[in-house]
Amino acid sequence: MERIVTASIATWRRVLIAAACVAGLCAAQTAQAADAAPTFSDWGWPMPREQVSQKSVQWLKDKGWWPLSIAYQAPWSGQNAVNIVMDKQGFLKDRGLETKVQAFASGPEINEVLVSGRFQVGSGGNFPFSSLLDKRIPVKAIAIESPNLLHALVVPPDSKIRSFKDLKGSNPPAALGIVTGSSAEFYVQMAAMVNDVKIGRDVILKNMTPGDQMAMPEGLAGVVSWDPTVAMITEQRKNGRVADSIFPYNMYEGQFYVRDELVQNVPDVVQALCDAFVEATLWIRLHPEQTADLMAQVPQLKSYSKPILLDQVKRYNNAYKPSYVYPNAQFWGQVNSVVFRWLHEHGRIVRPLSADDFVAAVDTRFMQKTFDKLGWTVPKAPPFVPAGWTGDPAKIPYPSYLDVQSMKAPQPFPEKGDLVRPWTFDKKTWTP
């Protein structure tokens, strides 16, 4: 009997030891899992940030590209906020990059410094980006900026012009102030084609900077510009009103792009740029008012009121799901095929570019990795395309889609299908 009791005690000891080992293993695995789980900043970026290698830094220095030079447009809503925040909040410096971020007035100006090699990273609308491709400048788009930015025909308050088709038969021809070579010019050309308005007979285009356009000079029938210039004229100065907008004629998008030498030689630098771009996008989502404050400090934006800047942030940074930044190359290639075709037919570009040329100028690998870090689903289409949309991105005019004129509230994010892993934003965690 004593031997039986002793054996039972020994057995129980072994059971208890085994249980303790299992419990310890589970605790260790739980701790390991906790260590592996990302820690998110308040604005939803997984920490810690990846750093660029010293080898890549040395390559940039040997190339004469240190600090790395980034060009953006001050009077271009949505895009300007991301570049400003990315710079002012130190999201590039935090990844080991020394940068020079400089504002320009328009896309053609940025093209000039990119072609010369003085800048290595830039932001460009559809028309200027097409020009880079036509000239075979080696660039790769890694993110989408300011999709569906409002471009508008703005006329004096007492003008009889109520739509673009009202310009038909103007005698003398209606003079429009515009930045030639910009996305605004392409909008005018497409609107003229759809409405049978003849450029040179019904309308003449006069090259004019956004700053000069805001004065609505006498002798013009109107100006054609993009936000925030449109908002400045119609909402702050109140010396003009919108008679027509871009949305039926063009799904506008801008590209955040890099010289291809960076992709080929220092891909970790390109990844840092992509990550910083999205981190800035998220920071803006959490801090719209602070974003407007940072923008107001930029000399080229000092004439814009704080309410205008804040409203632009809400419209062009925080209205769509933040997944709008993903460069859906096939979709945007079809959209831009319309741009390419017109440019070539009218002698504005030499090569007959196609949707495939646009696709070849996009590198989605970096944004895919960024989305993987966040635990976001790679979208099959941009978030402004509604379910069941009957349009064709390669054919205009387009049926309605979500834009700043039609949206009543920001898109919720995340929704079902937006995540592949848990994601935390503003101290709240969402699960797939």
* One-character DSSP codes across 412-429: PSS-TTSBSS-EEETTEE
- Given a cut of 60, whether residue 26 has pLDDT beyond it is no
Q: Is 312 helix (H, G, I), strand (E, B) or coil?
A: helix
Q: Write the pLDDT tens digit of every residue in 270-324.
A: 999 999 999 999 999 999 999 999 999 999 999 999 999 999 999 999 999 999 9
The arrangement of secondary structure in 151-245, i.e. its CATH architecture, is: 3-Layer(aba) Sandwich (3.40)
* pTM confidence score: 0.88
Q: How confident is the model at residue 36 (pLDDT cuts 50, 70, 90)?
A: low
- Given a cut of 50, whether residue 32 has pLDDT beyond it is no
Q: Write the pLDDT tens digit of every residue in 79-123.
A: 999 999 999 999 999 999 999 999 998 888 999 999 999 999 999
* Spatial contact of 166 and 136, defined as CB atoms under 8 Å apart: no
- Given a cut of 80, whether residue 33 has pLDDT beyond it is no
The arrangement of secondary structure in 46-148+252-430, i.e. its CATH architecture, is: 3-Layer(aba) Sandwich (3.40)
- Given a cut of 60, whether residue 215 has pLDDT beyond it is yes
The stretches of 166-218 forming alpha helices (DSSP H) are 183-194, 210-213
Q: How would you classify the pairing of strands 254-259 and 139-145?
A: antiparallel
Q: Write the pLDDT tens digit of every residue in 352-385.
A: 999 999 999 999 999 999 999 999 999 999 999 9
- Given a cut of 50, whether residue 9 has pLDDT beyond it is no
Residue 201, φ and ψ in degrees, nearest 5 = -110, -55
Share of the chain above pLDDT 90, in %: 87
* Spatial contact of 187 and 250, defined as CB atoms under 8 Å apart: yes
Mean pLDDT, range 251-261, rounded to an integer: 97
Length of the chain: 432
* Spatial contact of 120 and 258, defined as CB atoms under 8 Å apart: yes
- Given a cut of 70, whether residue 31 has pLDDT beyond it is no
Mean pLDDT, range 58-68, rounded to an integer: 98
Both tokens of 164, joined, read 């673009």
Average pLDDT in the chain: 92
Q: Write the pLDDT tens digit of every residue in 320-342.
A: 999 999 999 999 999 999 989 98
Q: How would you classify the pairing of strands 254-259 and 121-125?
A: antiparallel
Long-range CB pairs of 87-90, under 8 A, 24+ apart, other chains included = 88/294, 88/297, 89/280, 89/283, 89/294
Mean pLDDT, range 403-412, rounded to an integer: 95
